[in-house]
Each structure stands twice: as C-alpha cells, then as structure tokens.
Chain A
C-alpha cells in the first residue's frame, strides 16, 4: 500500500487503456475462447457475469466469490426492526450457473496484471483476457481509536449483511426499554449514503412499538446527509424529532459535525464513544467506520491514495492497470453513488464494453441509472433517482432528471413507494442472481 510513483502508474495506465479502446485487444492465445474472470459475486460482479453471458455466450465467464450465500445489505435495516427475516435477504449462485457462468467459491488473494492471472487462497490460478473486480468495501479501522475488526464481532458495523446483521438485531432485542442506542455514522464517501438514516428510522420504529422509552443518538462527522429534509420530516412525523432543535432529547437526537458529532475513540468495556462534543455511553453501540475499497483492490494495486479505484467511466477499465475493470462500491464512479442500483448499472455498462473490446470493437456509448428507496416506517417510503450520461470523458447527471420524492407526496403515494421498494428488491435481486 505504499505510494511510490503512483502518479506515473496512473499516467501509464491511461495511455495503455486508450490504445486498448482503439482496437489492440489481446485475444486468448491459441484460438481458445475469450476468458473473463470476475472477482466478487455481489451486486456488481454477479450482474456483470450474467449480462456478459446474455450479450455474448461465446465468452467464458468465471466468477470467484468468497461465500456460498450472499446476503443483501439493502433491506437489512428491516431485519433490525423485525419487519423481515435475515433469510429473506439470502441469495445463491445456481441462477448464474444456468447462464453458463462458472462459479468458483474461493478467496482471491492476488491479481498479476502483467501475466493476466488471478490467484486464489485455495491455490488455483485463472488466466484472463479481461478481469472485472467488484469486491465491495473494507473499513478504515484506524480512524476510530479502540475500534477494530476484532471488536466489530461484539460492537457491530452491520455494513456488510449476514452475521453482523443478526448480532445487532439480537442486541436490540436484548436491550431494556429506556436504553440508549448510539450509532456512529461514517464520513463521505461511503456505501449507501441514505443507509445509516434508514437504519435509524427502522430502529426507531422498533423502539416505538416495543421499547418506547428508549433513545437513539446519531454521532455524525458530516453536517448533513442524503435525503436530509425527507428523513428529518419523516422522523418528525413518526418519532418525535424536532428539526429546529436536532440534538434535543426526543427519541432521535442528531449530533452533527457542527455540534461535535465527529467520533474519535471507542471504549469497548464501557460502550462509550468519544466525540468532540463529549462522551456518549450506549446500551447498544453501532459503529459504521470510514470506508475504502475491498482488500483485493489494494493487493492488486488498483486503489489510489484515497482508498478507491480510479476508472474510465465508459468501460470501467482501471486507470492504473489495463485489462482490469473495477465496478461497484470499490470504483470511483462519481457522480454515481455507492449503491446496489449503481453497481448493477455500472456492471451492465462494463459488460457491454468488455464484450465489445473482446470482439475487437469500440466500447459502446454508456447510459446509467441510480435509484435508492428508503423506508421510514411501514407504509412511508421515500426515494432518490437519477439518470446519467457520458460526456467529454466523464459520467454526468442528465440535467432535469431524477431527484427526491416530492415533499408534496401524500400518504397514498408514500405508501406506494414502500410497495415499489419491495418490488425493486424482488426485481434487482432477480436481475442479478436469477436464472
């Protein structure tokens, strides 16, 4: 992870990428089939695998994923409130196999960009013509003193779904009525900008029904957050939040950066978070640390100094290593946010580019969409959407498109947004993992 001559690396990478895009595509040696190896079978990787096979079934796709079961992060906040089961978030890989994707369960330990080879912990090697890397996120543990991967087994982040989600749910269930839940929110950029605040909404919903004397304290290193007005007015509607006095001791108290909400240390023994504003003791504490690209991005030298992987937005080819593409949360794809919808949209653009490049053609003109639904309470949903285009070498928002749920939406339309959020869940997971 040293920074030596990173800048030169990037320059060289850009030049090489440009050559590739104009037609010097390396084919698999000996006339064998073109090989694509995908690292990580989450929203980005699994979608890319399926769509490459849909676009060109002559390409061989190998997907290497660490876990047999994938748990979606999206809608995992409803597991915390008891509105759904963890099992309802679980997906497998048999659907992709029906599309002819070779699925390998193993952990990728390294990528040799020179030899175009992916190596696994299990001792296997896979040669690629093009590699797609979609490992999701990792945490910058060093940012909160006293909090690390070990302590996260007890004091959860629950920012990767599965056992973490189950642990946090159990702690909330065990908490006494009148207890305090402290959530430490992450700094930008991070996976799912509205996610922490949907989490607060869902936990408030649970407390309101089962532990109404309990409190929620949000410690935030930011001044504001995604869908700020929609969330805070929703909290006002349902959970006794006062937007004009956000730190007041209603059920939800929001301590932002301006009020000293930036957390710096954690004492696990006393479950106490230290922030600029003082010490906050919780009965249940949830720390969502600052984030960076998944570990393999660093092992393969794909990440920049900020911890994310710079890419070319038309193909998602790495700006550092040619023939390797990075999609999903690990990639720098702004103004696209780090969301499941964006990861899926990036995967389709990347799949089309990879298929074109492998066939000696130029990558087609891309188009992208993002949408994020958040559920504030049963029957009360909000959303944000945006359409993106590619102009002058950059991903850009299409002016006039997208935006937030209108503040003028009545209860009828906000209830529909919840039903549509559930449909979105059904359809995006079907689009990603379905046969």
Chain B
C-alpha cells in the first residue's frame, strides 16, 4: 500500500505542474482549500474537540482519503457528501495546499495511561506510524497531537469492521484489543494525546 502511494505522489506532482493552479474556469488550490476551514480550522489546523486537523498531511494521503470518501469506501458522517463535489484534480490541489502547511498539535487533556500506551505503540504501531505517527510520508494520518475523539472514532470503525485499514494494521490492532480490551485502546489514545 505504501509503495503504490509513493508512486502516486510522483504522478500527482506531475499533474499539478501540468494543470497549474489558476486556469480560468477552474478554482485554485487556495480557493478550494479555504472552504474546508469552517470545519477543519484555518489552513487545516483544527481547534477540536473532534474534527481532525489535516494541516501537514501528505499529498498522497489527502488524495487517497478524498477518493475513498467520494467512493464511499471509507465510512464518514459528512466527508462523502463533501468529496462528491470535486474531481481528482481538485483533490490534488487540496492535497498540495494542506501538505504545504505545518502539522498542528492539539491542545487537549491527557488521560492516565499514556505510559502504557507508549509501550503498546512501540510494540505494535511504530513500524508504520514512525516517530509516534508524526511523519507525513507514512501516508497514514497523524497520531501524536491529533484530536482524541477523532482517533477514537477511527479505531472504533476499524475494530467494528466499518473502515478497512489494511490486513497488517488490523492484525496488530486486533491483537492489542483482544489482549487488553478497550482499556488498551484508551491507553494508546492517552499516549497520542500526551505528545505534541
């Protein structure tokens, strides 16, 4: 999955250079991305408490996410309805805009199990979500500093089968859940909330 997405980036960057951002009759990357701010915060830095920050995510991850929302493959409350308003060129422009922003860290309260969560993360998640899940190039969303309620929703959706996050991740996540139950999921969330 990671490899194909990296390939995707190369192709996508090519198409940006080709299409340009200000062809008459087409909205620019800025114009498209400014409309997202009412929900995701100015330039994608969310004030929470549940809406995810999208600032600084990778171009490939944003484009893939938007495509999966549009097709309905990825479960959502509202993003499917939003994504259906655009085509892939638009997604590329949005991806370009938000990937150029700095990652935003949530200012939120931290639960008591962060220490346990740190170990669970290191043993099960760090391989793909490197540097505590702060590296855009991992193409898998941010973990450290992302809003806790949002991360909880995504893990609930992964565990109940409504969002397919890939076999390899599910193997690890299911392992954590089977062994430690909801408590250990909470420990992971506490850990991510404790980081900037």
Question: Which A residues are closer than 8 A to B by beta carbons?
Answer: 51, 55, 341, 344-345, 348-349, 352, 362, 364-369, 371, 383, 385-389, 398, 400-403, 405, 409, 412-413, 416-417, 419-420, 422-424, 426-428, 430-431, 434
* CA–CA, A23 and B81, complex, Å: 37
Question: CB distance B31 to A424 under 8 Å?
Answer: no
B74-96 contacts to A, CB under 8 A, are 77-78, 81-82, 84-86
* B31, B34, B41, B47: residue with the most chain A Cβ atoms closer than 10 Å: B34
Judge if B27 is at the interface, Cβ distance under 8 Å.
Answer: yes
| Known A348-B31, A385-B78, A423-B51; further 16 A-B contacts with Cβ < 8 A | A345-B35, A348-B34, A352-B31, A365-B31, A366-B31, A371-B82, A383-B77, A387-B35, A403-B81, A420-B39, A420-B51, A427-B40, A427-B51, A430-B41, A431-B38, A434-B42
Judge if B111 is at the interface, Cβ distance under 8 Å.
Answer: no
Specify which chain B residues have a CB less than 8 angstroms from the CB of A388 in the assembled complex.
85
Specify which chain A residues have a CB less than 8 angstroms from the CB of B47 in the assembled complex.
423, 426-427, 430, 434
Question: Which B residues are closer than 8 A to A by beta carbons?
Answer: 22, 24-28, 30-32, 34-42, 46-51, 77-78, 81-82, 84-86, 147, 149, 153, 156
* A348, A385, A417: residue with the most chain B Cβ atoms closer than 10 Å: A385
Q: Of all chain B residues, which has the CB nearest A401? A: B85
- Interface of chain B, main secondary structure: loop
Q: Of all chain A residues, which has the CB nearest B41? A: A427
Specify which chain B residues have a CB less than 8 angstroms from the CB of A416 in the assembled complex.
50, 77, 153
Which 10 pairs between the two chains have the least Cβ-Cβ distance? A387-B85, A401-B85, A423-B51, A367-B27, A369-B35, A419-B50, A426-B47, A398-B85, A401-B84, A428-B38
> Known contacts A416-B77, A417-B77; is A430 also within 8 Å of B42 by CB?
yes
* CA–CA, A365 and B78, complex, Å: 25
Question: CB distance B78 to A383 under 8 Å?
Answer: yes
Question: CB distance B82 to A369 under 8 Å?
Answer: yes
Nearest CB of A to B176, in Å: 21
Nearest CB of B to A241, in Å: 24
Question: CB distance A413 to B77 under 8 Å?
Answer: yes
* CA–CA, A156 and B104, complex, Å: 42
> Known contacts A344-B38, A400-B84, A427-B41; is A364 also within 8 Å of B22 by CB?
yes
Nearest CB of A to B17, in Å: 19
13 A-B contact pairs sorted by A residue (CB < 8 Å): A362-B24, A364-B28, A365-B24, A371-B82, A385-B82, A387-B35, A387-B86, A401-B86, A402-B84, A402-B85, A423-B147, A424-B51, A428-B37
Question: CB distance A423 to B48 under 8 Å?
Answer: yes
Specify which chain B residues have a CB less than 8 angstroms from the CB of A412 in the assembled complex.
156
Question: CB distance A366 to B50 under 8 Å?
Answer: no
* CA–CA, A33 and B8, complex, Å: 45
Question: CB distance A420 to B78 under 8 Å?
Answer: yes
* CA–CA, A371 and B27, complex, Å: 20
Q: Of all chain A residues, which has the CB nearest B22? A: A364
* CA–CA, A405 and B77, complex, Å: 8
Specify which chain B residues have a CB less than 8 angstroms from the CB of A401 in the assembled complex.
81-82, 84-86
* CA–CA, A405 and B46, complex, Å: 22
Specify which chain B residues have a CB less than 8 angstroms from the CB of A398 in the assembled complex.
84-86
Q: Of all chain B residues, which has the CB nearest A418? A: B50
* B26, B48, B49, B51: residue with the most chain A Cβ atoms closer than 10 Å: B51
Specify which chain A residues have a CB less than 8 angstroms from the CB of B36 in the assembled complex.
369
Q: Of all chain B residues, which has the CB nearest A409? A: B77
Question: Which of A348, A402, A424, A427 is in CB contact (< 8 Å) with B81?
Answer: A402
Q: Of all chain B residues, which has the CB nearest A351? A: B34
Nearest CB of B to A355, in Å: 11
* CA–CA, A426 and B35, complex, Å: 15
Question: CB distance A431 to B42 under 8 Å?
Answer: yes
Nearest CB of B to A85, in Å: 17
Nearest CB of B to A57, in Å: 15
Nearest CB of A to B20, in Å: 12
Nearest CB of A to B180, in Å: 22
Nearest CB of A to B59, in Å: 19
Question: Which of B35, B38, B86 is in CB contact (< 8 Å) with A424?
Answer: B38
Q: Of all chain B residues, which has the CB nearest A423? A: B51
Q: Of all chain B residues, which has the CB nearest A427? A: B41
Question: CB distance B31 to A427 under 8 Å?
Answer: no
Question: Which of B32, B39, B81, B84 is in CB contact (< 8 Å) with A367?
Answer: B32
Question: CB distance B50 to A427 under 8 Å?
Answer: no
* CA–CA, A385 and B83, complex, Å: 11
Question: CB distance B77 to A427 under 8 Å?
Answer: no
* CA–CA, A369 and B84, complex, Å: 12
* CA–CA, A417 and B78, complex, Å: 8
Q: Of all chain B residues, which has the CB nearest A340? A: B38
> Known contacts A416-B50, A420-B77, A426-B48; is A371 also within 8 Å of B38 by CB?
yes
Specify which chain A residues have a CB less than 8 angstroms from the CB of B48 in the assembled complex.
423, 426
Nearest CB of B to A256, in Å: 28
* CA–CA, A344 and B41, complex, Å: 12
Nearest CB of B to A84, in Å: 14
* CA–CA, A424 and B24, complex, Å: 31
Question: CB distance A420 to B50 under 8 Å?
Answer: yes
Nearest CB of B to A410, in Å: 10
